[in-house]
Amino acid sequence: MQARIPKSAALAALMALLAPALVQAYDEAPGLPTVTTALSPLPKSPLPDISSLKVNKPAKMVDEEAFREKDVWGRIRSGYAIPDVNNELVAKHVNWYATRPDYIARTTARASLYLFHVVTELEKRNMPTELALLPFIESAFNPNALSSANAAGMWQFVPGTGRDFNLKQDAFKDERRGILASTDAALTYLQRLYDMFGDWQLALAAYNWGEGSVQKAIKRNQAAGKPTDFESLADLMPAETRNYVPKLQAVKNIVANPQQYGLNLPLIDNSPYFMAVDKTSDIDLTVAAHLAELSVDEFKALNPQFKRPVITGDEQTKILLPKENAEKFHLNLSQWTKELSTWTTHKITSARESISTLASRFHTSPEVIRQANNIPQKSVLKAGSTILVPKISTSASVDISSDIAENATVAYEAERSNNGKSAKGYKLAKAGKSDKSSPVALVKARVSRDAAKSKSHRKTSH
């Protein structure tokens, strides 16, 4: 029998249960360098009232029926609205998932952080709730997933489509990975595709394959006097798209009746897991996690869009925190007496500015600068690059401007060898790939450790 986990114990589930998604490559920045200001122990004395501090609370849902469901899975089941597919591909994928309870446990535990928000947004838009299961297919609910086509985040936006839907991608953040921004963009895109084709299955195919490709396939079948529904067009689709809707149908079937397939889904409380907190000034990522009394990995699981060790603040910047941790964050912030950010920017004006010279100038080590800016070893910065450096006394109170944050680039090339030749230069610094240290691999899910426990830990791919 499944046991409901109290919200106060949401972060107490076993961290090791959340292994990285097996179907994606991951792109994560190297380990963050130690902040130059030591983090003080948080106060134990009574803390002041913060009732006046601004917190963005989750919007109330109009449909109170949604809250009568005991968990989020029930809300998803009750909102199924896409016609079912029933073919050999669906059976194949159902069997794949049903024979891998360990994979289901990891993915659903990861999803437990995000599903309430996604389902709520779908219901607000009156969209089919099974669309909340799409990240199961796209990324295994890993917001740090990166595909070979450079599609990033839980909803797998490629750079161009991300920009089309106002997902900022700059040196400091990539909103394709942000939970709020990417979910809003994905649902807006899916609704636009449905309005275009009048059919959710074709809309899903277009989300995977592109609307232009689906339109061409429709015209081709129309010219041949053939039907233009998803299954009639399947032979014209690449294998990935042909399997896309059947995979979603397979997950729908399992969520509808997990016991039928010998599976158990973790009970996910039908209440918000996180809330948004405004941050209008710069703050080190490690400081933010410290004030919220979360590990850096736990913080990054809810805020994966931030790419650098400092979060640049403006009117649009929000950080997500579990409710109780948001309260702790404000209480601890009210007594914080040190600088919130220990980083600023420096523009390289000459190739003569070596990393070792910069490290000496800013009282740090070359490795700290390389890690903070994702600069590979045996490479040198090009003139015009804007990099993060530790703050010194003359710039201690100055935040990084929004103009710099949005336009900064880091360009580098290989060091010249003894014969004076240089290897091919790189254009932009990118985070190193890792499938072992993704933040989501370590974050504690809000489900019981028993619910997500599995006897098998085989590595598989799908």
Q: Is 138 considered catalytic here? A: yes
> Does 120 share its domain with 221?
yes
Strand bridging mode 283-284 / 310-311: antiparallel
- Is residue 24, in this structure, part of any structural domain at all? no
> Does 156 share its domain with 301?
no
> Does 196 share its domain with 220?
yes
Cα 349 to Cα 386: distance, rounded to the nearest angstrom = 9
Cα 84 to Cα 52: distance, rounded to the nearest angstrom = 49
- Element of type H or E holding 413: strand 412-414
Question: Where do the DSSP E strands lie in 279-371?
Answer: 283-284, 310-311, 318-322, 343-347
pLDDT at site 258: 97
- Is residue 298, in this structure, part of any structural domain at all? yes
- Is residue 142, in this structure, part of any structural domain at all? yes
Cα 94 to Cα 132: distance, rounded to the nearest angstrom = 18
Cα 370 to Cα 376: distance, rounded to the nearest angstrom = 7
> Does 384 share its domain with 304?
no
- Is residue 164, in this structure, part of any structural domain at all? yes
Query: One of 123, 130, 138, 353 is an active-site residue; which one?
Result: 138
Nearest residue to 153 (alpha-carbon basis) of 303, 253, 326: 303
- Is residue 1, in this structure, part of any structural domain at all? no
406 burial via Cβ count (<10 Å: 0-12, 13-18, 19+) = middle
Buried b / exposed e over 213-252, threshold 16 CB at 10 Å, is bbeebbeebeeeeeebebeebbebbeeebbbbbbbbbbbb
> Does 197 share its domain with 84?
yes
pLDDT at site 419: 55
pLDDT at site 438: 45
Percentages helix, strand, coil for the chain (3-state, rounded to 5) are: 45, 10, 45
> Does 226 share its domain with 320?
no
- Is residue 460, in this structure, part of any structural domain at all? no
The one-letter amino acid at 415: E
> Does 109 share its domain with 137?
yes
> Does 183 share its domain with 232?
yes
Residue 27 CB neighbour total at 10 angstroms: 20
pLDDT at site 41: 63
The structural domain count of the chain equals: 3
pLDDT at site 63: 53
> Does 172 share its domain with 33?
no
> Does 264 share its domain with 276?
no
Nearest residue to 157 (alpha-carbon basis) of 124, 180, 183, 132: 183
> Does 233 share its domain with 305?
no
pTM: 0.79
pLDDT at site 40: 58
pLDDT at site 315: 85
Of 286, 306, 333, the domain-final residue: 333
**Coil, strand or helix at 283:** strand
CATH number of the domain to which 147 belongs: 1.10.530.10
- Dihedral of the alpha carbons of 404, 410, 416, 422, in degrees to the nearest 10: -120
- Is residue 357, in this structure, part of any structural domain at all? yes
CATH number of the domain to which 377 belongs: 3.10.350.10
> Does 313 share its domain with 217?
no
**Coil, strand or helix at 363:** coil
For the chain, 462 residues long, give each residue's pLDDT as a single digit of tens.
444 444 444 443 433 343 343 333 333 333 444 444 456 566 554 444 433 344 444 444 445 555 567 899 999 999 999 999 999 999 999 999 999 999 999 999 999 999 999 999 999 999 999 999 999 999 999 999 999 999 999 999 999 999 999 999 999 999 999 999 999 999 999 999 999 999 999 999 999 999 999 999 999 999 999 999 999 999 999 999 999 999 999 999 999 999 999 999 999 999 999 999 999 899 999 999 999 999 999 999 999 999 999 999 988 899 999 999 999 999 999 999 999 999 999 999 987 789 999 999 999 999 999 999 999 998 889 999 999 999 987 556 789 998 999 899 988 888 776 555 544 444 444 433 434 344 444 445 666 434 444 434 443 444
Residue 387 is part of which domain span? 343-398+401-414
- Is residue 114, in this structure, part of any structural domain at all? yes
Of 333, 364, 383, the domain-final residue: 333
